[in-house]
Amino acid sequence: MSEETPNANVRVLTDADAVARAVAARFVEIACEAVGARGRFSVALSGGTTPRRVYELLSGEEFSARVEWAKVHVFFGDERCVPPDDAESNYRMARESLLSRVPIPTQNVHRMIGEGDAVANARLYEDELRAFFRTDESPIEELPRFDLALLGMGDDGHTASLFPHSPALEERQAWVVANRIEKFNAFRLTLTARAINHAAHVLFIVTGAGKAERLREVLEGGRDPLRLPSQLIKPTSGTLDWYVDRAASSKLSDGRQSAGHE
Ligand code: 6PG
């Protein structure tokens, strides 16, 4: 375990489908605990392609009936600056694979507005988060406290839309920003590392050999968060789990590959 991620727990599963099943099971577990303890479950979904299988499983008969969807509030970790029906939209992916298939109330789906003024939309989303999370008991400095934040990792080490050397990496106050991504010549909306790190549970989903070297760098290399933004994710008091398949874990230290293997 490098000094970078002292509390990171790495679970190695046989393949991408086994990873998706394990993540779906963990999602249900955390949802049941949150609803039982606080009457609601707040989750920030990841975009990209990897989580699609997780969402499909969650909407299927094996898992769906175990979640009280009326008490689930879905947020997004990041969003491309496109309309909700665009092929690039993370909201569209989640709607197709999960949200349109489970009985979650419309008002419980908190979409990041991708279309229009990115800076204004980031501020709107932060206002929505503040309205949702602020309660009499919650100290503002510990918010937003998602019950679960699902994250992916790009092969460049980014997570959410926290890309290497992008302005959002230095953000210390805001919970949501419009991040300028040079390589796309575009803005993306993203939760900041600060907002993600207040979550009760943070869960990375990483599969495929193409991410093996970067995963090794992030988990076992030196601290270099501007180049490897996934290293910024270190929950202040919550748990941090990496659900990876054998292919993605192939360059991790032997101890790690065998210890968590399932
Ligand atoms: C996005 C995601 C992003 C994603 C990684 C991995 O909007 O694309 O939030 O952070 O998780 O890029 O993407 P894949 O799952 O497609 O490899």
Report the separation in Å between the CA atom of 205 and the middle of ligand 1, taken as the mean of its atom positions: 10
Say yes or no to pLDDT of 76 above 70.
yes
**8 Å CB contact between 161 and 176:** no
Among 78, 191, 203, 204, residue to substitute to test ligand 1 (most atoms within 8 Å of Cβ): 78
Q: Say if ligand 1 is within 6 A of residue 78 CB.
A: yes
pTM of the model: 0.96
Q: Is the CB of 160 under 6 A from ligand 1?
A: yes
Name the residue at shortest CA distance from atom 10 of ligand 1. 160
Nearest C-alpha neighbor of 206 from the set 7, 4, 10, 5: 10
Cis peptide before 105 (omega within 30 of 0): no
In the predicted model, what is the mean pLDDT of residues 37-50?
Answer: 98
Question: Which of 153, 215, 233 for a ligand 1 pocket mutation test, highest count of atoms within 8 Å of Cβ?
Answer: 153
Give 214 Cα–ligand 1 centroid separation in angstroms.
14
Predicted local confidence at residue 5, as pLDDT: 55
Q: Is the CB of 159 under 6 A from ligand 1?
A: yes
Q: Is residue 146 within 8 Å of residue 42, measured between CB atoms?
A: yes
pLDDT in tens, 84-142: 999 999 999 999 999 999 999 999 999 999 999 999 999 999 999 999 999 878 888 88
pLDDT digit string, tens, across residues 150-190: 999 999 999 999 999 999 999 999 999 999 999 999 999 99
pLDDT of residue 229: 98
Is the pLDDT confidence value at 208 over 50? yes
pLDDT of residue 2: 45
Give the distance, in angstroms, between the CA of residue 80 and the centroid of all CA atoms in the same chain: 15
Say what the alpha-carbon torsion angle 85, 42, 174, 240 is, to the nearest 10 degrees.
Answer: -110
CA–CA separation, 239 and 2 (whole Å):
16
Sheet containing 186-191: order of strands = 78-80, 186-191, 176-181
What would the pLDDT profile of 189-198 be if each residue is shown by its tens digit? 999 999 999 9
Whether the per-residue pLDDT at 238 is higher than 60: the answer is: yes
Q: Does the structure show a pLDDT above 60 at 234?
A: yes
